[in-house]
Each structure stands twice: as C-alpha cells, then as structure tokens.
Amino acid sequence: MKHKITAITFLAVIFALSIGNIADEAALREPFRRVKTVFDTNVLQKLDSNGVFVSDGYIFKIDYPLNEASVLRLCEIINEMKNRHLDDTNKVFFAIAPDKNAFLENSNRLVLDYNRKKELIRTALNDDIAYVDIFGGLTLESYYRTDSHWRQEALFPVAALLADGMGFSPHRKPFTEENFNGFYGVYCRQSALNAKPDNLVWLVSETTQNAVVTSLEKPGQVFPAYDLSQLDGPDPYNIFMCGPAAVVTAQNPANTSGRRLILFRDSFASPLAPLLLDAYSEIILIDLRYILPSLLDEAVDFSGADVLFIYSSGLFNNSDSVRGPASRR
C-alpha cells in the first residue's frame, strides 16, 4: 500500500507539471526531479534514473550502446578537416578523451567496449593522423564526482603523454592551485541528487597569468585564461579558456619560438590547453559545434602548426552536434 500511495503522489506531480497552470514551474523543477529520482530508485528499484546513477560516490551517466555510425561520422569530419585545411607543413595527431565510465569497475551497468571504439576510430582515420593514447594517464579520480569532465589538476600525466607523443617539451613554469568549493556538475543537476559539491581547481602560473586570450565571437575583447566571473554563473566549468566557443586563441608572449598548436576539440580540452601553453607561442581552440568548417579558412591560419584532434568518447558516440560539410547538414 505504501508503494501505491507513493506512486499515486508521483503521478499527481507529473500531471500538475504537465497542465501548465503552475505559477512558478521553474521553481518546482528541481524538487520534481528529486521526487522522480527517489521514486525510480526506491519504489521501482531501478538501477538508474534517466540514465544517471551513483557508484563509489561518483555520479555517472549511461552512454550505451556503441553508436558506430556516429563514430564514423566524426572520423569522416576529421579526415575532411585534414584534407581540406592541412598540408605537409602540419604535424597532425588525434587523441580520445575517455569519459569516466571507462574507469567504472565491478558494476552491473552497461559500459561501452572502449577498445573496440579506439580500434574503430584508428581504422577510420587517415593513416597520416598519428594516434596518442592518453587513457593510461587517467583514473576515476581524474574526474569530478558530480560532472562529466576531468579535473585540471589531474591532467599532468595526460599533458606528459601528449608531449611525448607529439614531440614538444612539457610545461616548465610552476603552478599554484586556486579553488572554488561549490561546483555542482551537470550530472548533479540532471539527477537532482543531494550530492556534496565538488572542489573546482584551476592552476595558475606565470604563463597563464600573462596569456592573451581572444574569442572570434567577441572581437576586440581580451580575456584571461580563467574567467572567474563564470563561478557565479550556471556552469562554473566555463572558467577555462572562454568556455564553449567557436574559435579561441591563447597567445603566450614569453614563448618566442613561433610554434603553434591548433586544437580541434570539445569542452574536455578547455582545462587542458593552459597546461600545454608553456610549450607554444599560440594555441588555437576550434569547436566545430559552433562554427561551419567552410568559415575556418577565413578565421584560422593553419600553416606550419601542430594540430591535435581531441574529442571526448561521449562526443564520438553522439556526434550530431558537430558541424560537417554543408551537404550533410
């Protein structure tokens, strides 16, 4: 009987929200999600709620099964970017940023075959795009408990693997940690769980403090490597390198080598770029979710630059948001 009453109450909440006559629907959204989560897990005994679940104190989201068509679509876009914009003056690499599900152990949840995904990507990409495997530089502790992303302070092993694979010198300047102990990640918001916030850390060095950061979408403006105003916004993770943006350029005045790096990326590269900046005079971050490939020749000088395509496992598996050639949009 107790379960029946709970179910009736839950259905009443759904009905009330669906009517549209609620004075402040936004104010009820989070309590409703919390009720649904409790109902799914405690009453229906489901292992997850809306694909979100908790294990070992970390919140995960199910990304299953392997979407081979999506993976191959993104590989085709990468190949086209290589063929259309790059030439023999470029050294070209790719890396896969695994999601934290790759480090989920002893679980009865469905998890992707990451070896199969890596092999699929390596086979589909052009032979002249060299693979740098960064999986070995990560553990579950490299990720936020409440968010999908990795923690910047845990990325030194990843930066070292990239330096070794791409042939540049790793960072030299010492970093100091600054932090914000109030970061509720996207998984926390999606699940409405009463989770403790993460401690968001950003790493400051002489290089990051002197970096000159600009965005194609905001001409004439100069930004810091870490935009601390984002800590008061809906997603504090956006403090890193202007957050989601089409083309972001970070210049390092102290490096006079003229060496440049172009990162085709998603949001996982935002905290990684400051750790690589010491080795380059300039790093350009390109996010094809926000710009058409046909506009890149006008916006970016590709000549002579190192190029790294680094995309998260999740984006490979759900690549519809990435802008491909106009004929396929």
**Tens digits of per-residue pLDDT, 287-302?**
999 999 999 999 999 9
Calculate the dihedral angle through the C-alpha atoms of 112, 115, 121, 124, rounding to the nearest 10 degrees. Answer: -120
Residue 106: predicted pLDDT: 77
Provide φ and ψ at 298, rounded to 5°. Answer: -80, -25
Question: Could you tell me the pTM of the whole model?
Answer: 0.86
Provide φ and ψ at 183, rounded to 5°. Answer: -95, 110
Secondary structure of residue 53 in the 3-state scheme:
strand
Residue 109: predicted pLDDT: 84
Residue 6: predicted pLDDT: 54
- Written as one string, the DSSP assignment of 123-151 is HHS-TTSEE---GGG--GGGB-SSSSSBP
Residues of the chain with pLDDT under 70: 1-49, 191-192, 326-329
Secondary structure of residue 198 in the 3-state scheme:
strand
- Dist. CA 269–CA 243, nearest whole Å: 10
- Dist. CA 77–CA 204, nearest whole Å: 34
Q: Which of 159, 104, 132 is nearest to 275 (CA)?
A: 159
Cβ proximity of 271 and 285 under 8 Å: no
Q: What is the pLDDT of residues 145-189, one digit of tens each?
A: 999 999 999 999 999 999 999 999 987 789 999 999 999 999 987
